[in-house]
Structure 1
Amino acid sequence: MTACGCRGKQVGRLVKVCSMNLVELAELAEADLMFGIAGIEGPVREGLGITGQRFGRGVAISVRDDPSQYWSRAQGFGFDRPVTAELIGEVVEFYRAAGTPIAHFNLAPDVLPADWDEIRAAYGLEAGGTVVKLVRDASPVAEAGTSLRIGPVDRADSDDVRAWVETQMISFGLPDRDGLLRRMLAALCQVPAFQPYAGWDGGKLVATAGLYVHGEVGECVSAATLPEYRGRGAQSALIALRVEDALAAGCKWLSTETGKPAEGERNPSLDNMRRAGFKDLYDRPSWTWKP
């Protein structure tokens, strides 16, 4: 177990576990899922300029020609090797060599060194958006009511996978180029230990979610609902099903992340997670690098 240098933000049952260990478990589960992008082969890899590199347990992914400028990410650092100017320099050199136009360093606040401001200034890392990282134990969630049919997506069903991807594209307003980003998301559905889920209105797929099992952690991602179907309980039901399946898979914890709303505003995804028993672990700013 990692030595505890935690900030004491845990509440309820979470105080019984060293929070720094929870940080490590949650961050590495997310990083490992994201590194699945680096394993994509063929025309999608070539068309989007996908490359990846591990730096110990940390990972860096470059999607050079990503039209959304979202998927080039560095994360999972600070657990087997301290975050130093040397380490950040190595990752920056990876992005320079890959021709990456923009990359996002997602670093848990507890792993940042005392001289982080000097390091980030030296490499031109600017503060970007902030997400809230949340965790909960794998105890069941009360069944949530919805008029939609909720269940796992058959990854061998190309029509359902295509509809799952399209719902993501529409819900998040993602741009695409030659259909390559859609094909990348479809490939992610085939990552081992990742299970896509959906909500259907009759035969129409209208809501999505995903669960990635990484050891004792289930990472919850990809929550999206078509605008006209929001407010019908799809995401609450999808959370409950993923918790149930994570428990069956032997997970002890579930983790997730979602955007931190601006002062006076709400993020419905954050509200859904908190209602389902997820507790805020920390706020994680993203640090943006450009060559």
Structure 2
Amino acid sequence: MRGMDLAEVVEATEANLMFELTKVAEPVRERMGISGRRFGRGVALSVRNDPSEFWSRAQGFGFDKPVTGELISEVLAFFRSEGTEVVNVQLAPEVLPDDWAGICRSHGLTEGPTVVKLARDAGPAEQPPTTLRIGPIKPADRAAWAAVQIEAFGFADDDGRIAEMLATINDLPEVTGYAAWDGDKLVATAALYVDGKVGQFVSAATLPEYRGRGAQSALLARRVEDAFAAGCRWIAADTGRPGDGEQNPSLNNLLRAGFKVLYDRPVWVWRQ
């Protein structure tokens, strides 16, 4: 598959996953203020009551119709109507128009952190050694699964609303949550979203005191194997671009697991 075609496939898969949040349990949607709208193949997800400023986003645009100032105006109008204060606009570099810098200036978009988008073929995977137990989570594990991510990512979540939303994601039929256990203690998390022939890896987090023990490498291998068994042809993942002279262990794990970098994708931040 050509690079542009693969970019379209993986961007659509990630956008579809984010839109799945509009299907979580109604009490969670109301508490988090979740709503969404599709603009062709692009997705706008508003999570109005998100204290972490992470979840509201616009992505998947530019493949079925060009990204223009008029399109960005329409998308941002949706977020204004929802009362969303912060939005993360994430567009593949291939779809950015020549006048993107001007569109950003006129709409108040500022460049934030950079995401590295990666992909690999699905296929059999060799399980790396680890002393931790690896496998899918059960319903009774969901609260602990969410709590690990809250701690590992440093989300601001004093009243537990993000943890509740994360736990509920496991109710979505296309999502499978995984974990690593040290005895009975859940210490690392991951998830697989299957969208037709594409699997998307998300929710990779490890408690600080358990990093370096092979949890994420083992969780990657298990999900590669399961995505292949589920009929996926490709697998996509993303992580943060490390700064100059810095290392991102998540990026290193993905590269060792056979993922290839497709492109860097800056996050463009809009504030109400």
Name the TM-score class by shorter chain.
over 0.9
1:135 & 1:152 partners in 2: Cα distance? Answer: 22
* Equivalence for 1:214: 195
Q: 2:150 aligns with which of 163, 169, 173?
A: 169
Between stretches 255-264 and 80-89, larger displacement belongs to: 80-89
Partner SS, residue 199 of structure 2: strand
Q: 1:43 aligns with which of 17, 27, 31?
A: 27
Q: 1:140 aligns with which of 124, 130, 133?
A: 124
2:49 & 2:136 partners in 1: Cα distance? Answer: 31
Report % sequence identity.
Answer: 58
Q: Give ranges in structure 2 of 5+ residues lacking alignment.
A: none
Partner SS, residue 168 of structure 1: helix
* Equivalence for 1:90: 74
Q: 2:230 aligns with which of 244, 249, 264?
A: 249
Query: Quick one: which amino acid aligns to residue 160 of structure 2?
Result: G
Partner SS, residue 165 of structure 2: helix
Q: 1:235 aligns with which of 194, 212, 216?
A: 216
* Equivalence for 2:8: 24
* Equivalence for 2:85: 101
1:34 and 2:18 are equivalent in the alignment:
yes
Partner SS, residue 131 of structure 2: coil
**8 Å contact kept, 1:198–1:206:** yes
Q: Normalized against structure 1, the TM-score is what?
A: 0.91
Q: 1:284 aligns with which of 246, 257, 265?
A: 265
**8 Å contact kept, 2:48–2:82:** yes
Q: 2:113 aligns with which of 126, 129, 133?
A: 129
* Equivalence for 2:179: 198
TM-superposed deviation, 1:38: 1.7
**CA-to-partner distance for each residue in 1:163-184, whole Å, 9 max, x for gaps?**
1001111111111142211111
**CA-to-partner distance for each residue in 1:162-205, whole Å, 9 max, x for gaps?**
11001111111111142211111111111221100000111111
**8 Å contact kept, 2:116–2:238:** yes
TM-superposed deviation, 1:41: 4.1
**8 Å contact kept, 1:67–1:177:** no
Partner SS, residue 143 of structure 1: coil
Between stretches 140-149 and 258-267, larger displacement belongs to: 140-149
**8 Å contact kept, 1:137–1:253:** yes
Runs of 4+ aligned structure 1 residues displaced above 3 Å come to: none
* Equivalence for 1:271: 252
Partner SS, residue 261 of structure 1: coil
Q: Normalized against structure 2, the TM-score is what?
A: 0.98
TM-superposed deviation, 1:36: 1.3
* Equivalence for 1:223: 204
Question: What is the aligned residue count?
Answer: 272
**8 Å contact kept, 2:174–2:193:** yes
**8 Å contact kept, 2:145–2:179:** yes
2:132 & 2:74 partners in 1: Cα distance? Answer: 48
* Equivalence for 1:112: 96
**8 Å contact kept, 1:161–1:189:** yes
Q: Give ranges in structure 1 of 5+ residues lacking alignment.
A: 1-16
Query: Quick one: which amino acid aligns to residue 134 of structure 1?
Result: L
2:125 & 2:249 partners in 1: Cα distance? Answer: 18
**CA-to-partner distance for each residue in 1:37-69, whole Å, 9 max, x for gaps?**
122343322222211111111111111110101
